[in-house]
Amino acid sequence: MPIGPLMIEHRLIERMVRVINEELSKIKEINEVNIGFIDVAVDFFRTYADKCHHGKEEDILFRDLAKKPLSPEHKKTMQELIQEHVYARKTVGGLVDAKEKYTQHGNNALENIVAIISELVEFYPKHIEKEDKHFFIPVMNYFSKQEQDDMLQEFWGFDRNLIHEKYKGIVEKLEGKKH
């Protein structure tokens, strides 16, 4: 089933959430932020969790589900998940801003970083549980076996293109073509 790769991706996201929660404890203990760690975490959430994982959900699974006669409950849950993805993007963007303020103003911006990391640590487990336990499995019933197989193939193609898009974007940004 196409939800298999999505659920496997959830396990890696959960592991990263545990790692950032451990980093959060260190930040609180020593009152200092490891900027390099924040950069790695932001890259993980933007590239893996959002572009790779949420990208497959929104651009493939949700797109195909929107063509189906969803129950009101499934339609409502799908809209909630889309809004949660928007929230996650905004929160990670806030972490980037907070890191910049920390870089400029030191510990005066520490509280903001702690608050945002805390939000991410709280958000992702609930979001993942909603998808894994209340949405993914039941919505597979809307698709035939062939539709599921086609979706799975589209997931693999999506992943293959992702790394090329990421590094093309980096080069374009460095060239001054993207902001």
Question: Mind listing the pLDDT tens digit for each residue in 77-115?
Answer: 999 999 999 999 999 999 999 999 999 887 778 899 999
Distance CA 125, CA 116 (A): 15
Just give the CATH number of 3-167. Answer: 1.20.120.520
Question: Mind listing the pLDDT tens digit for each residue in 29-71?
Answer: 999 999 999 999 999 999 989 998 999 999 999 999 999 999 9
DSSP secondary structure, 19-30, as one string = HHHHHHHHHHHH
Closest CA to 15 of 55, 47, 45, 52: 45
